[in-house]
Each structure stands twice: as C-alpha cells, then as structure tokens.
Chain A
Amino acid sequence: MRRALAALLLLALPAAAPVGAEERRSGFADMTPATQAMQRDDAANPGMLWALEGEALWLAPVGRAAKACAACHGDAAASMRGVAARYPAMDDATGQAVDLAGRIALCQVRHQQADPAPRESQPALALAAYVGLQSRGLPITPAEDSRMATLRAAGEALYRERRGQLDLSCAQCHDDNAGRRLAGSVIPQGHPTGYPIYRLEWQAVGSLQRRLRGCMTGVRSEPYAYGAPEYIAIEAFLMGRAAGMAVETPAVRP
C-alpha cells in the first residue's frame, strides 16, 4: 500500500518540471574552450573595449548640468557593485519597471539634464557594460518587491506564449529542448547572465533586447520596439529564473 502511494505521488509530479537550481547552466558551459578563454581573459574579451569606453563616459561631465556619473556616484567599483545583478527594478518616480539601460537613461535625463543615448547605441551599451562589469562574479539577486513579482509573472506568460508563423514559445526551445541542437547550435537555457554580451555572430556588443529580438524574428514573429515593456517583463522573469547564478558581464557568446 505504501509503495503504491509512493508510486502515485511520483506519478503526480509535474512531467515538465521547471529548470531546477542544480541543473541550471550558463551558455558559457556549452562554448568551445577557445571562446571560453576569450571571455575569461580581459585582454582578449572584446566586450572589455566597450566597458573601457563606458569607464571614460562614467568620468565625463555631460548635459546642461555638466555633471559626470562619477560626480554623484563616485567610484563605480564601490557604488555600482551588485547593481546590475538586481535589475530590472522599479522606478519609484514613474511606478514603472526599468532595465539597467533604462535606469542609466533616466539618470542622464534627470540628473545630467542630457539627452540619453538611444538604446543599442555604442555609448548606451558601453555604459551598461561598464556598470554591469562591477557586478561580475556576484550572484543575480532579483528585488523582493510585489510589483516585480507581478512583472515576472507577466514576463513568464510572454515566455510561454507561442508566437510567429512558426508558432513557438521561448519555453519550447529554452526549457523543453535546451541542450539539444538547433541546426549546429546547442540551445542554451536562456539565462541572461552576461549582458550586454559580445556576440561573435554580431561582431559587437549587444543587449538582451537585441538577443530577444533575434529569437522573435527567428520564429517569424513581429519583435517589440526597443525599450518595450514586454522586454522588461521577459528580462525580469529570466533574471528571477537565473537568481543566484553569477553575473558574467561582459560575456562572450557565439
């Protein structure tokens, strides 16, 4: 009887369990040794060029306020440590969630009285890479905020929603088929541990939103515009899913 009960309990377990903490795997683990070495070595990691440019921008006075980021925040190594690991986060002034790039842009408008660099522009990516670098090696730690929980749920719904002419959801590849090969490429679990990343395919640094747009176009769906709240929600969900994994910014990916 007890054995039968145990068997029943086993059967009752969900068939498609979510990716567990033990089985989580950064895309880094599936890269060739040469690409892994490129990420590990700051002198070889092309993303470090963006981070270096970001450091120069951090120190440069800009805007009508003629203030540098450093004028308020000081040494980024201290003040920005761990910051990227907890974004997206709520902006209390607007009540909207923002990603790290959005937070930097808000800071430029409010405090430097500057026109923010457009999303995905070189200076925007450079500053995000520099701020992200200050969290490298630290665990992803999403904010414990009920509004963020709501956002994460919305992001999960988008992640599980089938879309496009190919009618595929993110989850169908990155949960159900991670580790298998789509043509020649191993499908990663989709943990956003290293953004902005230097992608060999792009020959440049790009944001998570650029990466999400690539997948959306791949299933022949209409991507959202850069900065759309849908991307922030998906990022919030993915960062929650990756909680505890180490930040790799600026990561290198094929």
Chain B
Amino acid sequence: MIRAVLLALILAAPARAEEALPRPAGIAPGDPARGRVIVADRQRGLCLLCHAGPFPEERFQGNLAPNLAGAGSRWTEGQLRLRLVDGRRLNPATIMPSYGRTEGLHHVGRVWQGRTILGPQEIEDVVAYLTTLKE
C-alpha cells in the first residue's frame, strides 16, 4: 500500500519542473523592453504563433500553448530560462521548440543549420520580459 502511494506520488510529480538554468557566464542581464519586441516578432521569437499574451496591438495570436500572461508568477527566472533554452528536457513531447539547442535536430534547413532560434542575449531579454508578466 505504501509502495503504491509512493509510486502514485512519483508518477504524479512534474518531472524536474522545479529545475532551473542560471544565466550563462559572459551574458548580461536581459532587457525586458527588447524582450517584448522579440516575443511579438513572428519571424524572431515566433511566440505569438502558439501563445497569446498581453499584446493588445497584435492580432492573430495562437492558442496551442498557455497564455503568457502570468508566466512571471508561475515560474522563476531560472525556470523560464530552462523552458526557453530546452523545454524538451522537462517534457520530451512538448511542442515548445528549444530556443537554445542545435543538437539532436533532423533535416534542418540549410540556412538554419548550426544556429539556435534565438541567441543567448536574446534569450536573456525574453526571460527578463517574461518575469515582468505577473498576475
């Protein structure tokens, strides 16, 4: 019985959801204003293709993923960073792309090969912006 309860607890626990990534050495703290621009840019951040967010000026926001409003209340800065850099480490089945990973990808287009979706400073800017989204 105790074993069954323990097993249920283990299965129910979010897999390492509390894990976080520190800001990489040599990268300056992010700028929330720059981060907001990246999030809204459909060629750079791509975020609004799947997420809606507090962007009253942006039409056509997606609904494949949670609303970004309140992201800064739900997660710490380090947890947000991990979700951006490589969310697949938390949930291998997620549709959230890994913005800071180039390994383990297949059939990458020639112009994108060896490049991450965002650079480390851009990721810092987005993280800085998302931490401001308190509910």
Partner of B105, one of A165, A180, A182, A216: A165
Least distance between A254 CB and chain B CB atoms (Å): 13
Tell me whether A183 and B108 are in contact in the complex, defined as CB-CB below 8 angstroms, given that A166-B117, A168-B95 are known contacts.
no
Does B62 lie within 8 Å of A162, measured CB to CB?
A: no
Per the CB 8 Å criterion, the residue count for chain A at the interface is: 25
Does A220 lie within 8 Å of B42, measured CB to CB?
A: no
- Whether B16 sits at the interface, judged by CB under 8 Å, is no
- Whether A42 sits at the interface, judged by CB under 8 Å, is no
Residues of B within 8 A of A91 (CB): none
- Whether B17 sits at the interface, judged by CB under 8 Å, is no
Does A220 lie within 8 Å of B49, measured CB to CB?
A: no
Does B97 lie within 8 Å of A166, measured CB to CB?
A: yes
- CB within 8 Å of B: which A212-227 residues: 216-217, 220-223
Residues of B within 8 A of A165 (CB): 97, 105, 108-109, 112, 115, 117
Does B62 lie within 8 Å of A163, measured CB to CB?
A: no
Does B108 lie within 8 Å of A161, measured CB to CB?
A: no
Does A167 lie within 8 Å of B105, measured CB to CB?
A: yes
Q: How far is the CA of A223 from the CA of B108 in the complex (A)?
A: 9
- CB within 8 Å of A: which B19-67 residues: 42, 46, 48-50, 59-64
Least distance between B66 CB and chain A CB atoms (Å): 12
Residue picked from B50, B59, B104, most chain A C-beta under 10 Å = B50
Does B64 lie within 8 Å of A221, measured CB to CB?
A: no
- Whether A184 sits at the interface, judged by CB under 8 Å, is yes
Closest residue to B60 on the A side, CB-wise? A184
- Whether A181 sits at the interface, judged by CB under 8 Å, is yes
The interface size bin for chain B is 20 to 34
- Whether B98 sits at the interface, judged by CB under 8 Å, is yes
Closest residue to B102 on the A side, CB-wise? A165
Tell me whether A180 and B109 are in contact in the complex, defined as CB-CB below 8 angstroms, given that A165-B115, A168-B95 are known contacts.
no
Residues of A within 8 A of B97 (CB): 165-168
Residues of B within 8 A of A168 (CB): 95, 97
Does A222 lie within 8 Å of B95, measured CB to CB?
A: no
Least distance between B92 CB and chain A CB atoms (Å): 10
Does A164 lie within 8 Å of B62, measured CB to CB?
A: no
Least distance between A157 CB and chain B CB atoms (Å): 12
Residues of A within 8 A of B63 (CB): 180-181
- Whether B107 sits at the interface, judged by CB under 8 Å, is yes
Does B109 lie within 8 Å of A164, measured CB to CB?
A: yes
Tell me whether A164 and B110 are in contact in the complex, defined as CB-CB below 8 angstroms, given that A172-B95, A181-B62 are known contacts.
no
Q: How far is the CA of A60 from the CA of B110 in the complex (A)?
A: 42
Residues of A within 8 A of B108 (CB): 163-165, 220-222
Residues of A within 8 A of B42 (CB): 183
| 29 intermolecular pairs with C-beta atoms under 8 Å apart | A161-B106, A162-B105, A162-B106, A163-B106, A164-B106, A164-B107, A164-B108, A164-B109, A164-B112, A165-B97, A165-B109, A165-B117, A166-B46, A166-B97, A167-B88, A167-B104, A168-B95, A168-B97, A177-B64, A180-B62, A181-B60, A181-B63, A181-B64, A184-B59, A184-B60, A220-B109, A220-B112, A221-B107, A222-B108
Point out residues on B near A: beta carbons under 8 Å.
Answer: 42, 46, 48-50, 59-64, 88, 95, 97-98, 104-110, 112, 115, 117
Task: List 10 tightest A-B contacts by C-beta distance, closest first.
Answer: A184-B60, A165-B112, A163-B107, A221-B107, A166-B97, A183-B60, A220-B112, A222-B109, A183-B49, A181-B63
